[in-house]
Copies of this chain bind each other. A is one copy, B any other.
Amino acid sequence: MIIDCHGHYTTSPPPHEAWRKQQVASRSSAAPMPKISDDEIRESILGGQMKLQKERGTDLTIFSPRASSMAHHDGDAEMNARWSELCNTMIHRVCGLFPRNFVGVCQLPQAPGVAPANCIAELERCVKELGFVGCNLNPDPSGGYWKDPPLTDRWWYPFYEKMVELDVPAMVHVSSSCNPNFHATGAHYINGDTTAFMQFLTSDLFRDFPTLKFIIPHGGGAVPYHWGRYRGLAQDMKRPPLKEHLLKNVFFDTCVYHLPGTELLAKVIPVENILFASEMIGAVRGKDPDTGHYFDDTKRYIDALPALSEADRRGIYEGNARRVYGRLSAQLERQFKA
């Protein structure tokens, strides 16, 4: 089985995002929830993510709401709670319609300046009632101004306690940027990844939460490329070697859109810490004129790595995801029976 741990519902039927738009414009959540039929959802998936799964030979996507539309900076805690609920319910419906192809990961009702303990109830609902296996955690709810405390601050601890209790990991994933300095998918996303890793490196977070797990998407931002810098910084700061200090808790996905980058990732990061992902349908949608294949057809890059053993490849494609998403295997069994 080939599990893609990073897919977003970027193709949701238009009334879904339209509801948020009017909510933000009116600063009110009073409008009735959009009416979207199962057929509309089927159509949005069959022509999009499912089509690509088949074409590319992947089996299952760990699926979450569109990251750029979380836009926690556009709302307050109450607005974002209604919006998250709506987005997560849509994901649940996708998983219900295609139980062999999608497992859910939830958006959280974070809001700038609001302690993330406010996200516990929605996480519990999604995990316990909807069968979700993880969440997307935004390290910068201010959308590019980075005004909230670092991920390693006690501000986040009550939420982490619930993650640990429920045995669900978080993908560290920023949303869109309202700071004109940062292009969302070209700068803010990658910076968010790099920033989170360095916050973890300088902290004792995983001494406090030995079983807490994070996936850093987009191939870990700049981290694998600068692995020598991070190893050196950790050593200069008298931190333990990174493998021991962070790699029981921090994992990287493979959303790197060219072979040399994927090669580097697999060369410097232990195979056990790499989870297959494509981010599709996501940031880059075209074909690479040099190869004739889609930039985000990341499976081709993994398949092209001669240094990987078959066991390595199975880990990247399936085993590591089953280990990091502790509830995944049981949830898959439930969904496959459905």
Contact = CB atoms under 8 A, between A and B. Distances in A.
Interface in A166-191: 179-183, 185-187, 190-191
A41 to B, nearest CB: 26
Contact of A256 (B181, B221, B225, B288): B225
B232 A257 contact: yes
Residue of A185, A260, A288 ringed by the most chain B CB atoms within 10 A = A260
A228 B144 CA distance: 24
A328 B185 CA distance: 37
A205 to B, nearest CB: 14
Interface string A276-320: 000000011110110000011000000000000000000000000
A258 interface: yes
Interface of A: 139-140, 144-146, 148-150, 179-183, 185-187, 190-191, 194-195, 198-199, 201-202, 218-219, 221-222, 224-233, 235-236, 256-258, 260-261, 263-264, 267-268, 283-286, 288-289, 295-296
Given A235-B286, A264-B264, 17 more contacts: A150-B181, A182-B198, A183-B202, A185-B229, A185-B233, A186-B198, A186-B201, A186-B233, A187-B199, A190-B222, A190-B226, A226-B261, A227-B261, A228-B256, A228-B288, A232-B285, A260-B264
Given A194-B191, A225-B219, A267-B260, A236 B285 contact: yes
Contacts of A195: 181-182, 187, 191
A139 B233 CA distance: 24
Contacts of A260: 227, 264, 267-268
Contact of A284 (B139, B198, B233): B233
A289 B283 CA distance: 38
B229 A186 contact: yes
Contact of A219 (B190, B198, B226): B226
21 contacts: A146-B146, A148-B181, A149-B181, A182-B195, A183-B199, A185-B229, A186-B230, A187-B195, A187-B198, A194-B222, A224-B261, A225-B261, A228-B256, A228-B257, A229-B284, A231-B257, A231-B258, A232-B283, A232-B288, A232-B296, A235-B289
A199 B181 contact: yes
A304 to B, nearest CB: 13
Nearest to A233: B186
